[in-house]
């Protein structure tokens, strides 16, 4: 579904991504772990071209999205993204938050968008909040709504950048549960997280990034159980 070839990204003279290669299959759940500042967010942001790569190529469903003249808006609709901070529209109800983009960008009818939105609210367990405004929701609820809002565009892949890092501890589980359900439903997912238990349980593949490079990758058993690099071992010793 996604192929990344020799991806490089610099900010000024600072090279942040130093040649990333990866293939992500349809239905795969890839979890990216690594120290702060290693380039995880930059990598995710390059994948949907929120950041323009300095070098390299990205293919999405076979199409070179980094090629000149490619219409990134079409591709971005197929890539849902959820960030640490939820950025819900504060003056819109939960239901309106979910129907806005589908009706305006995808030209769905209001009725159809609402039907899909209600299904998604059921999926994330918040159907009863449809007429609520975001400021009346807890952090965990807001993040579940943010996930539902991304799903409302019917993306082919979901990118998550530390979706639980800003949450109070007691709310982390409800968001991870939604993500787990999504993974079990066959969604292709790329997830940056510090939740190692979740990574181990839900990830098909774990990628350890450090200093702008993929240091090692493998199944959760391999990476958590028998890491083959010192840098991975050092990192895991600190976080586990
Ligand atoms: P991570 O998500 O692994 O913590 P980031 O991708 O956020 O790492 O950041 C990697 C490095 O890139 C950091 O040193 C950060 O300061 C730098 N960086 C990220 N975004 C920008 C930017 N827009 N301009 C300049 N430097 C940036
Ligand atoms: Mg980050």
Q: Please write the tens of the pLDDT for every residue from 151-178.
A: 999 999 999 999 999 999 999 999 999 9
To test the pocket of ligand 1, the residue of 15, 18, 20, 37 to mutate (highest count of ligand atoms within 8 Å of its CB) is 37
The half-sphere exposure of 183 on its side-chain side, counting CA atoms within 13 A, is 22
pLDDT for 240 beyond 90: no
Is the confidence metric ipTM above 0.90 for this complex? yes
Q: Is 121 helix (H, G, I), strand (E, B) or coil?
A: helix
Q: In the block, which residue shows the tokens 């609520």?
A: 132
Write out the residues surrounding ion ligand 2, Cβ under 5 A. Answer: 40-41
Helix residue spans in the chain (DSSP H):
40-47, 72-77, 94-104, 110-123, 139-151, 169-184, 196-202, 220, 230-239
Of all protein residues, the one whose alpha carbon is nearest to atom 12 of ligand 1 is 16
CA of 213 to the centre of ligand 1 (A): 13
Residue 11 in contact with ligand 1 by CB distance below 6 A: yes
Cα 141 to the center of its chain, rounded Å: 17
Q: What is the pLDDT of residue 107?
A: 92
Q: What is the pLDDT of residue 21?
A: 98
Residue 9 in contact with ligand 1 by CB distance below 6 A: no
pLDDT tens-digit profile of 95-132?
A: 999 999 999 999 999 999 999 999 999 999 999 999 99
């Amino acid at each position: 579904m996604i192929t990344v070839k020799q991806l490089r990204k610099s900010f000024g003279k600072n090279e942040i991504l130093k040649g990333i290669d990866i293939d992500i299959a349809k239905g795969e759940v890839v979890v990216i772990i690594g120290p702060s500042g290693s380039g995880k967010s930059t990598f995710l942001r390059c994948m949907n071209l929120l950041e323009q790569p300095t070098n390299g190529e990205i293919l999405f469903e076979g199409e070179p999205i980094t090629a000149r003249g490619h219409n990134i808006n079409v591709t971005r609709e197929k890539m849902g993204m959820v960030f640490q901070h939820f950025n819900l529209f504060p003056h819109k109800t939960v239901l309106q938050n979910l129907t806005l983009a589908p009706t305006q960008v995808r030209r769905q009818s209001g009725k159809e968008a609402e039907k899909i939105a209600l299904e998604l609210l059921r999926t994330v367990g918040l159907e009863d909040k449809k007429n609520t405004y975001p400021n009346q929701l807890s952090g965990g609820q807001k993040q579940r709504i943010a996930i539902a809002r991304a799903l409302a565009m019917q993306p082919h892949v979901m990118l998550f950048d530390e979706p639980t890092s800003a949450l109070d501890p007691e709310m982390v589980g409800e968001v991870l549960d939604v993500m787990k359900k999504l993974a079990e439903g066959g969604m292709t997912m790329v997830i940056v997280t510090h939740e190692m238990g979740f990574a181990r349980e839900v990830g098909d593949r774990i990628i350890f990034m450090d200093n702008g490079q993929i240091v090692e990758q493998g199944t959760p058993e391999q990476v958590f159980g028998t890491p083959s690099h010192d840098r991975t071992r050092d990192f895991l010793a600190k976080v586990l």
